[in-house]
Copies of this chain bind each other. A is one copy, B any other.
Amino acid sequence: MGTLAPRVGLIMGSISDWKILKGASVVLERFGVAYEKRIVSAHRTPDLLHDYAREAKGRGIEVIIAGAGGAAHLPGMVASMTTIPVLGVPVPSTYLKGIDSLLSIVQMPKGVPVATFSIGESGAENAALFAISLLGLSDQTLGDQLIAYRKSLTQSVLDASFPEDE
């Protein structure tokens, strides 16, 4: 995560969420975006949550990616205490497979949005890519990197071949 001041805060409710959220950090590193990662639990560390959310902007954080599962309150509560964009990643829950996490994150009331992404690993990666697109608005280099990334995605599909045909 280098010595640069972090621009993205990557937080999650529990260390067990890391296996899902890790993909977000891989994307951020690929794009060379400085970030910090923290365990911040809405329910077990409400004061830390409060401080983290209130201080993030002042510390130079420009966007927060928050992953949580079940009654996933972390993204919404962070969003209630900051005006920087908050991106929510629904972590799949043991029995309901994340449909609870998704609804708990996305169904925010008028006034306090959380930008929500898909359940699980793909959502984590996409939240990071969305953070890049957002930072890329005023950072030409990042914007160009994102265009290049998209081209590589396209190329990977064009290059795919069926096992039978190889």
Contact = CB atoms under 8 A, between A and B. Distances in A.
A157 B39 contact: yes
Interface residues of A, number: 86
Contact of A109 (B70, B105, B133): B70
18 contacts: A41-B109, A42-B77, A43-B80, A43-B109, A46-B81, A70-B122, A71-B73, A71-B76, A71-B105, A83-B150, A84-B133, A96-B97, A96-B107, A108-B118, A108-B122, A111-B150, A113-B130, A137-B138
Given A94-B120, A115-B116, A162 B103 contact: no
Interface of A: 13-15, 18, 37, 39-48, 50, 62-63, 69-73, 76-77, 79-81, 83-85, 87, 92-100, 102-122, 125-127, 129-130, 133-138, 143, 146-147, 150, 153-154, 156-158, 160-163
